[in-house]
């Protein structure tokens, strides 16, 4: 009898702890704070390990994630996302009585909502302005950050604490440029935004950038005070493809069973999009897929909900009932589909923040 039934997700705990320690050391060596994005693992125990190894706190995207991680003992939480709506603002302000809470802002509407909620809660909220640096998602241009900083200055219950950005390596003008070069540029751009605000009379303490592929380079830029990688705790086929990690650093794998071998070179596994997620990308070997099948066996090239189609590499064959291990393309969305992950020896981690999206 197997230790668990497939499909399942297995975490290599020692590898995860090594990844956590190495990131902490890289940041300490560069004199910047590490505030990991915990949407990757959504688990209190791993967040506590990150803090134990030197992280100053955690980053989340949603208020509900902040609530979970404060419950799990986090004392310093940054919601790096525009919190919009009176109920969410109230929940965030309430949390500020239980932990240090920092809120991201990028609109006057967001600032007004947080100010009102902080006032009603009798709290002061630290806020950071999100700067757009190429991803074309959320955030404002540095020039537009000035009016937001002015509005924060005129608010009753908000305190401008810093600026932040996110862009990683997957955006329109990034093609063909190295993660190192992009990370350095990212650092320079966010430092320039901070400087502009300072010139206009605003105190800016935190200057925060960085994703898993770019944080080391961004951390090397004078003036960057903090980085926020997330994926590094587990890594995945994307960070492997980017050269950000080696195979030995991969700390999470999906284990699936072969349920059919319909024709030569193809196997069907019991992990589909409800296990591997919907994120497709380029593997290091050049093939496009949802994950790399271990031991050089092949690539998951197509997904239905409960069927994964594996293209086997030349000379490889598998049998119905074989268990395959897969490095998923994007680990964050895979973890979000799990209630638990296996650590081996019957031990499990509960993905406590899974499904918390408000």
Site string (321-340) toward a copy of itself, x via CB under 8 A: x----------xx--xxxx-
Q: Alpha helices, DSSP H only, in 307-346?
A: 331-335
* Residue 35, token pair as written in the block: 């505030």
Of the pair 1, 175, the CB lying nearest a copy of itself is at: 1
* Residue 202, token pair as written in the block: 């605003």
3-class SS at 339? coil
Interface with a copy of itself (CB under 8 A), residue from 50, 59, 155, 275: 275
By CB under 8 A, how many residues form the interface with a copy of itself? Answer: 60
Interface with a copy of itself (CB under 8 A), residue from 159, 284, 307, 348: 307
Q: What is the rounded distance in angstroms from the CA atom of residue 296 to the CA atom of residue 8?
A: 20
* Number of Cα atoms under 13 Å in the Cβ half of residue 191: 16
How far are the Cα atoms of 112, 247, 250 from residue 231, in angstroms, in the given order?
Answer: 33, 14, 10
**Whether the Cβ atoms of residue 235 and residue 334 lie closer than 8 Å to each other:** no
Q: Which conformational region is residue 42 in: left (phi greater than 0), alpha (psi within -120 to 50 degrees), or beta? A: left
CB of 259 to a copy of itself, least distance (A): 4
Interface with a copy of itself (CB under 8 A), residue from 73, 278, 296, 344: 278
* Number of Cα atoms under 13 Å in the Cβ half of residue 268: 10
3-class SS at 124? coil
CB of 220 to a copy of itself, least distance (A): 26
Interface with a copy of itself (CB under 8 A), residue from 76, 132, 185, 236: 132
The dihedrals phi and psi of 244, each to the nearest 5 degrees, come to -75, -20
Of the pair 150, 342, the CB lying nearest a copy of itself is at: 342
312 near a copy of itself, judged by CB under 8 A: no
Kindly identify the residues of this chain, within the stretch 227-266, that bind a copy of itself according to CB under 8 A: 257-263
CB of 201 to a copy of itself, least distance (A): 26
How far are the Cα atoms of 28, 210, 265 from residue 194, in angstroms, in the given order?
Answer: 22, 15, 54
Interface with a copy of itself (CB under 8 A), residue from 199, 222, 295, 305: 305
Query: Minimal CA–CA distance to 245: which of 9, 12, 19?
Result: 19
CB of 6 to a copy of itself, least distance (A): 7
Of the pair 43, 275, the CB lying nearest a copy of itself is at: 275
Site string (58-97) toward a copy of itself, x via CB under 8 A: ---xx------------------xx-xxxxx---------
Query: Minimal CA–CA distance to 254: which of 11, 2, 3?
Result: 11
304 near a copy of itself, judged by CB under 8 A: yes
The site for a copy of itself (CB under 8 A) is made up of 1-2, 5-8, 39, 61-62, 81-82, 84-88, 106-107, 109-110, 113, 132, 136-140, 257-263, 268, 270, 273-275, 277-280, 304-307, 309, 319-321, 332-333, 336-339, 355, 357-358
């Amino acid at each position: 009898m197997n230790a668990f039934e497939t499909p399942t997700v297995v975490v290599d705990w020692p590898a995860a702890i090594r990844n956590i320690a190495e990131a902490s050391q890289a940041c300490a060596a560069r004199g910047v704070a590490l505030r990991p994005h915990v949407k990757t693992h959504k688990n209190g125990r791993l967040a506590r390990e990150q803090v134990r190894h030197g992280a100053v706190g955690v980053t989340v995207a949603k208020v509900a994630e902040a609530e979970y991680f404060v419950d799990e003992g986090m004392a310093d939480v940054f919601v790096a996302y525009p919190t919009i709506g009176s109920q969410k603002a109230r929940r965030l302000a309430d949390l500020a009585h239980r932990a240090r809470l920092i809120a991201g802002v990028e609109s006057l509407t967001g600032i007004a909502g947080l100010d009102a909620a902080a006032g009603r809660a009798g709290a002061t909220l630290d806020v950071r302005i999100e700067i757009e640096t190429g991803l074309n998602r959320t955030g404002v241009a540095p020039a537009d950050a000035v009016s937001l900083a002015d509005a924060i200055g005129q608010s009753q219950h908000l305190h401008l604490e810093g600026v932040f950005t996110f862009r990683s390596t997957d955006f329109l003008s990034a093609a063909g440029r190295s993660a190192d070069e992009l990370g350095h540029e990212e650092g320079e751009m966010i430092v320039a935004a901070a400087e502009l605000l300072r010139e206009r009379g605003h105190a800016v303490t935190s200057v925060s950038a960085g994703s898993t592929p770019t944080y080391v380079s961004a951390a090397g830029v004078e003036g960057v005070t903090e980085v926020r990688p997330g994926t590094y705790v587990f890594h995945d086929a994307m960070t492997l493809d980017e050269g950000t990690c080696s195979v030995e650093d991969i700390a999470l794998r999906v284990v699936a069973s072969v349920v059919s071998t319909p024709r030569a070179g193809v196997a069907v596994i019991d992990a589909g999009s409800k296990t591997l997620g919907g994120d497709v990308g380029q593997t290091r070997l050049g093939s496009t897929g949802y994950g790399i099948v271990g031991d050089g066996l092949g690539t998951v090239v197509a997904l239905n909900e409960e069927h994964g189609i594996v293209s086997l590499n030349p000379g490889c064959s598998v049998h119905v009932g074989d268990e395959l291990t897969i490095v998923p393309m994007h680990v964050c969305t895979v973890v979000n589909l799990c209630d638990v992950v296996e650590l081996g020896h019957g031990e499990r981690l509960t993905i406590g923040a899974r499904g918390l999206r408000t």
